[in-house]
Amino acid sequence: MTAAIKISSRATREFWELEVLFEDADLLALDKPAGLPTSPDPEEPDRPSLMRLLHDGIVGGAPWAASRQLSYLANPHRLDAEIGGVLLLAKNKAALVQLANQFGSERTARIYIALVQGSPAEATFRVEAKLGPHPARPGTMRVDPREGKRAATEFTVLERFAGHTLLKCQPLTERPHQIRVHLRSRGLAIAGDERYGGRPLLLSRLKPGYRFKQDRDELPLIGEVALYAEELVIAHPVTAEPLTLRAAWPKYLNVALKFLRRYAPARSLPTPEQPTADESPATRDDQDRRAED
């Protein structure tokens, strides 16, 4: 694995250390941080974006760019600003054109992991619904059968809990907010996705007898959009060999799943766990808070 790429925004005093998932002469795959837009947002021109910061680093001769002798980086696809995970970049125009053709002709395979509120009836299901911008909510998409663009997503249940479900999501097209809107159209909101009806996941809602700490607001187990780009499969733009890129699940998701398995198993309501002789309720709460942090 090659060295991480470090970028920062002077305007907002934010810093990101980007894990490199794959790199060769033509490609650079990164684990994009959640909350950082892929490209500049016309509605928020001063907000930092990944591509602008990378281009600034190339022009400014940042160590990560100079050591790689980079003069070009372009993104053949993008992730929603709120979503982290596998993002593939091209190091030259020929690779960009070939990859853009793959994404445009739906010849790539993209796998996302989502934790949703509710439980679908089926173990697998498919949503085909045209999507378009919401006329009254800038930056939001909606199902628009008349003027929307074609969009299709396949879903598979990975694990069920009381009140939540872990899903594998495979978008067959690439539209903004596609997975989020398709799930919402089936009455399933992604945890933490307040834009589309999702709520933060709180330990106090899962654990019976949860004890609140005085003078401290409860930190959610999930306070961001619980959707993650786990895997991307493409044909290499030069060799045409299949290339699978994967990113490890974020820590917040693993922690949330731990507590869902403990306190909200499928087809049952959360029940109190009896502490052992050496584990008082207060001690257990402290352990849970440390895991939450």
Q: Which domain holds residue 77?
A: 1-105
What is residue 42's predicted lDDT score, i.e. its pLDDT?
Answer: 79
Per-residue pLDDT of the chain in tens (293 residues, 90 and over written 9): 468 999 999 989 999 999 999 999 999 999 999 999 999 887 788 899 999 999 999 999 999 999 999 999 999 999 999 999 999 999 999 999 999 999 988 889 999 999 999 999 999 999 999 999 999 998 899 999 999 999 999 999 999 999 999 999 999 999 999 999 999 999 999 999 999 999 999 999 999 988 888 778 899 999 999 999 999 999 999 999 999 999 999 999 999 999 999 999 986 444 434 333 333 334 444 445 445 45
Give me the DSSP letters along 110-153: EEEEEEEES--SSSEEEEE--EEE-TTSTT-EEE-TTTPBP-EE
Q: Are 201 and 221 in contact (CB under 8 A)?
A: yes
181 shares a domain with 266: yes
Could you report the per-residue pLDDT of 85-111, keeping only the tens digit for each?
Answer: 999 999 999 999 999 999 988 889 999
Please list, in sequence order, all residues whose beta carbon lies within 8 angstroms of the beta carbon of residue 35, skipping any fewer than 6 positions away. 81, 82, 84, 224
Name the token pair of 242.
Answer: 């299949």
Could you report the per-residue pLDDT of 123-132, keeping only the tens digit for each?
Answer: 999 999 999 9
What is residue 280's predicted lDDT score, i.e. its pLDDT?
Answer: 35
123 shares a domain with 95: no
Among residues 80, 193, 288, 293, which one is catalytic?
80
Beta strands in the chain (DSSP E): 5-9, 14-18, 20-23, 27-32, 84-90, 109-117, 124-128, 131-133, 141-143, 152-160, 164-171, 189-190, 227-235, 242-246
Q: Which CATH number do you get for residue 12? A: 3.30.70
Q: Of 40, 75, 105, which closes a domain?
A: 105
Q: Which CATH number do you get for residue 145? A: 3.30.2350.10
80 catalytic per annotation:
yes
Q: Are 6 and 20 in contact (CB under 8 A)?
A: no
228 shares a domain with 120: yes
What is residue 283's predicted lDDT score, i.e. its pLDDT?
Answer: 41
What is residue 267's predicted lDDT score, i.e. its pLDDT?
Answer: 67
What is residue 284's predicted lDDT score, i.e. its pLDDT?
Answer: 46
State pTM to two decimals: 0.88
Domain count, the chain: 2
Q: Is 52 left (phi over 0), alpha (psi -120 to 50) or beta?
A: alpha
156 shares a domain with 129: yes
